[in-house]
């Protein structure tokens, strides 16, 4: 018997635990969204992010895409490779630094982007509409703070935890 499952220390309840709730929320939302575009274009989340990032900025390096979209460089590399194979993205050498290359959407890529962006915005709009109007700004602020704080903690631990 678990004694009293949780009396000792203010009771940890999974369903009220913020990190857990954030994960569940992000997963469900992300799944719902990707169901919408995965069927149409047969792309996954990383490809979608690359497409959207290039649609937003027009031309940039893989590294910059990774930073902007919070993706590991291997993820970016593979997503770009597949978009390139599908002729949705082109790579242009940077004559001033041959390690990197400038990436941009092809006309075909832009077509998909301009088809995909409005429905993404619409999805987000509908999602936001379910949140009480008075709570919307608070949600935005809260996410900012949480991201900022957690990133701080994670990097602190990364430094302190593995000395040498």
Tell me how far, at minimum, the Cβ of 157 lies from DNA, in Å: 13
Please spell the DSSP secondary structure of 130-157, one letter per residue. Answer: TS-HHHHHHHHHHHHHHHHHHHHHHHHH
Tell me how far, at minimum, the Cβ of 22 lies from a second copy, in Å: 4
Tell me how far, at minimum, the Cβ of 7 lies from a second copy, in Å: 11
Which of 52, 45, 39 is closest to 117 using CA atoms? 52
Q: What is the distance of C-alpha 121 from the center of its chain? A: 15
| Residue 5 contact among DNA, a second copy, none, beta carbon within 5 to 8 Å by kind | a second copy
Measured CA distances, 4 to 13, 14, 133, 138 (Å) = 13, 16, 40, 36
Tell me how far, at minimum, the Cβ of 78 lies from DNA, in Å: 6
Binding residues for DNA, per CB under 7 A? 44-46, 61-64, 66, 71-78, 80-81, 96-101
Q: Does 1 bind a second copy (CB under 8 A)?
A: yes
Q: Does 151 bind a second copy (CB under 8 A)?
A: yes
HSE-up of residue 148 (Cα within 13 Å, Cβ side) = 6
| Residue 147 contact among a second copy, DNA, none, beta carbon within 5 to 8 Å by kind | a second copy
| Residue 63 contact among a second copy, DNA, none, beta carbon within 5 to 8 Å by kind | DNA
Q: Does 57 bind a second copy (CB under 8 A)?
A: yes
Q: In the set 40, 42, 58, 72, which binds a second copy (CB under 8 A)?
A: 58
Within the chain, strands assigned E span: 59-60, 89-93, 101-105
Q: Does 27 bind a second copy (CB under 8 A)?
A: yes
Sign for the pseudo-dihedral over CA of 131, 39, 53, 146? positive
């Amino acid at each position: 018997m678990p004694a009293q499952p949780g009396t000792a220390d203010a009771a940890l309840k999974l369903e009220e635990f913020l990190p857990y709730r954030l994960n569940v929320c992000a997963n469900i939302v992300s799944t719902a969204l990707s169901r919408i575009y995965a069927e149409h274009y047969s792309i996954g989340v990383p490809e979608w992010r690359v497409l959207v990032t290039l649609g937003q900025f027009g031309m940039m390096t893989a590294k910059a895409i990774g930073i902007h979209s919070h993706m590991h460089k291997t993820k970016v590399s593979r997503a770009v490779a597949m978009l390139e194979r599908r002729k949705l993205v082109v790579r242009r050498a940077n004559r001033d630094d041959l390690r990197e290359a400038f990436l941009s959407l092809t006309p075909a890529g832009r077509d998909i982007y301009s088809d995909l962006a409005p429905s993404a915005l619409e999805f987000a709009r509908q999602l936001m509409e379910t949140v009480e109007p008075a709570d919307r700004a608070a949600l935005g602020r809260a996410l900012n703070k949480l991201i900022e704080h957690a990133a701080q903690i994670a990097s602190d631990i990364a430094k302190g935890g593995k000395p040498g």
